[in-house]
Chains A and B, each alone.
Chain A
Amino acid sequence: MIEQLGGFLYVVLGTIFVALFGIGFGLGVLGVDRKLTAHMQARIGPPLRQPFIDIRKLLLKENIIPENAISWLFNAAPVFALAASVTILLYLPIGGLPPVLGVYGDIILIMYLLTVPALAMVTGGFASGSPYATVGAQREMITMMAYELPLATVFIALAWRLARAGVQDPFSLASLTSTPIWSVAGPLGIIGALILLIVLIFVTPGELSRVPFDTPEAETELAGGLMVEYSGKNLAMFYLAQGVKSVAMASVIVALFLPWGLSEFVPGIPALGILLDFLWYIVKVLAVLFVSVSLIRVAMARFRISQVVTMYWIYLGGLGILGLTLLFLDSLGGV
């Protein structure tokens, strides 16, 4: 009984902590992204705390619900998006800390959860009753179907290679982080894993609807697309969800490809180890987002929706299968 209560308390407190951390860090990440992007475009850019100011302002604004919207669905969508984004973080290791709900889910669950915020946005878009939002919602669904193939290929290839190397329960995040792919793969496998990393880096902007895969939100043609009718509090919630989702997606990459901690360098002082791991995790997330969001965003222009599908299915899907094949060949020779 006491133990159950303890477990329950752990989950509740952990969830609150992860939610607060995710929202705060998510907004911070967006600020860093904007600043770096500005510097790369030879601008000075907004201050790092700009997203916090934006949120404070959005919370002050009037919250308009359009006349021909389905109001309960329209209001529920941002809540869903934010809640689902926080939920993903609960299943991911943050720094050296184990995931709060780690025992209940694995990487396949995360793959499904990653689609929920996007689905919430699609629902909100359809519910808002604006033609712009409807077109945006259709495009978001197409993008979602497009990036799912390379994403699944990466996850399955990694887990399968671990299974070949004799790792128990290869889909669980605990085993994925404790045995990084680099430690089991031979030279061929390492090339394969690098290719998979590149694929995952290109899936990230699609997942987060950022340039060049921001076709659903295209400011210039669709006037904000999915978000077109949202204002005030609801828009702020989508903004927060965007930040949390960025952190979640980066944490997936960190957990799969860069799981090393710093705590083994300071044996004997567990508190310092945890702190170091935590800071190191923040550095890793920022580095991953710098490459996969800021750099790609500055370097490329937006794709048309048909190009998005070709890009994901043919090119990145092809690359993913190449990586899978290399890992397969590696496992034939290596084990």
Chain B
Amino acid sequence: MKPTPSFNRSLWVYHLNSGSCNGCEIEIVAALAPRYDPERFGVKLVGSPRHADALLVTGPVPNKMKERVLRIMEQTPDPKVVICVGTCGESGGVYYDSYSLAGPIDDVIPVDIYVSGCPPRPEAILHGVVKAIEKLEQLQGGAT
């Protein structure tokens, strides 16, 4: 289904930790705190992937996590965007070449937006969310 503008103003985010070192989590929490207040734009952290419009995935996806990541991806109702936070998810980062990786994330699920940094600053994460909204806007302008 084609997303409408109401989508951009009410992006509910589910945070999925797939083997991250917790550095990215701390920055995500910092991005959600009153200083940046993403709730101004309707961004809200939700507890269940069923409620989510955006998946915020961190970490390099170890073998054991692969199945869970796929499952959470399927549990999220369409339309949705996937935002990969941190260098780990992009390339493996400090875990690059590890024997236990199934990832990086885009080997497991399709990723829409990449946010680089180890960990990325809260500003960068918010920028990623803005990019996600821009992408949604393109979809609304373009074909169904």
- Which residues of A does B touch, CB under 8 Å? 34, 38, 41-46, 50, 53-54, 56-57, 60-64, 132, 219-220, 222-224, 227-232, 235
Q: Report Cα–Cα, A60/B40, bound state, in Å.
A: 21
Tell whether, in the assembled complex, residue A224 and residue B78 are in contact, meaning their CB atoms are under 8 Å apart. no
18 further A-B contacts with Cβ under 8 Å, apart from A219-B46, A227-B51, are: A38-B39, A42-B34, A43-B37, A43-B40, A44-B40, A45-B37, A45-B39, A50-B9, A53-B6, A57-B4, A60-B7, A61-B79, A62-B78, A64-B50, A223-B47, A230-B50, A231-B51, A232-B77
B37 touching A38 by the CB < 8 A rule? yes
Identify the B interface with A (CB < 8 A): 1, 3-4, 6-7, 9-10, 34, 37, 39-42, 45-48, 50-51, 53, 75, 77-79
CA A60 – CA B50 in complex, angstroms? 14
Instruction: Name the one of B42, B46, B75, B79 contacting A64, with C-beta atoms under 8 angstroms.
Output: B75
Q: How far is the CA of A300 from the CA of B39 in the complex (A)?
A: 20
* A-B CB proximity, top 9 nearest: A62-B77, A56-B6, A219-B47, A223-B47, A224-B48, A231-B50, A224-B47, A43-B37, A231-B77
Q: Let me know if B77 and A64 touch, CB within 8 A.
A: yes
Residues of B close to A64: CB separation below 8 A:
50, 75, 77
Do residues B47 and A220 form an inter-chain contact, with CB atoms below 8 A? yes
Query: Can you offer 20 A-B residue contacts whose CB atoms are under 8 A?
Result: A34-B39, A42-B34, A50-B9, A53-B6, A56-B6, A60-B3, A60-B4, A61-B77, A62-B79, A64-B50, A64-B75, A219-B45, A219-B46, A222-B47, A223-B48, A224-B46, A227-B48, A229-B48, A231-B51, A235-B51
Contact of A44 among B1, B37, B50 (CB under 8 A): B37
Contact present for A45 and B51 (CB under 8 Å): no
A residues within 8 A CB of B1? 60, 62
Question: Does the CB pair A46–B77 fall under 8 Å?
Answer: no
From B43, which residue of chain A is reached at the shortest CB distance? A46
Minimum distance in angstroms from B63 CB to a CB of chain A: 24
B34, B40, B47, B78: the one contacting A61 at CB < 8 Å is B78
Q: With both chains docked as a complex, state the minimum distance between the C-beta of A212 and any C-beta of chain B, in angstroms.
A: 17
Closest to B45 in A: A219
In the bound complex, residues from chain A placing their C-beta under 8 Å from that of B40 are 43-46
Once A and B bind, how many residue pairs between them come within 8 Å at the CB atom?
A: 82
A26: shortest Cβ distance to chain B, in Å? 17
Looking at A50, A61, A230, A235, the one whose CB has the most chain B CB atoms below 10 A away is: A61
With a cutoff of 8 Å between Cβ atoms, the chain B residues found around residue A57 in the complex are: 4, 6-7, 9-10, 53
User: In the assembly, what is the distance between CA of A228 and CA of B79, in Å?
Assistant: 18
A95-B29 Cα distance, complex, nearest whole Å: 43
Q: Within 8 Å CB of B75, what residues of A?
A: 64
**From B46, B47, B53, B75, residue with most partner A Cβ within 10 Å:** B47
Say whether B51 contacts A60, CB under 8 Å. Answer: no
Q: Nearest Cβ distance between residue B73 and chain A, in whole angstroms?
A: 13
| Bound Cα distance from A251 to B37, whole angstroms | 32
A54 pairs with B10, CB closer than 8 A: yes
Pick the most buried of B9, B42, B47, B50: most chain A CB atoms within 10 A of its CB: B50
* In contact, B51 and A224 (Cβ under 8 angstroms): yes
Cα of A143 to Cα of B1 in the assembled complex, Å: 39
Q: Which residue of A lies closest to B36 (CB)?
A: A43
Contact of A53 among B3, B9, B37 (CB under 8 A): B9
Residues of B near A61 (CB, < 8 A) are 53, 77-79
Q: Chain A residues with Cβ under 8 A from B3's Cβ?
A: 60
Q: Which residue of A lies closest to B1 (CB)?
A: A60
Chain B residues with CB under 8 Å of A45's CB are 37, 39-40
**From residue B56, how far is it (CB to closest CB) to chain A in Å?**
15
Rounded to whole Å, the gap between the CB of B6 and the closest CB of chain A is: 4
Provide the bound-state CA to CA distance between A3 and B26, in Å. 67
Q: CA A210 – CA B9 in complex, angstroms?
A: 24
Closest CB in chain B relative to A120 CB, distance in Å = 18
B residues in contact with A222, CB < 8 Å = 47
A43-B37, A57-B6 are contacts. A63–B77 as well, Cβ < 8 Å? Answer: yes
Residues of A within 8 A of B4 (CB): 56-57, 60
B42-A41 in contact (CB<8A): no
Query: How distant is the Cα of A56 from the Cα of B42 in the complex, in angstroms?
Result: 13
B50 CB contacts on chain A under 8 angstroms: 64, 224, 228-231, 235
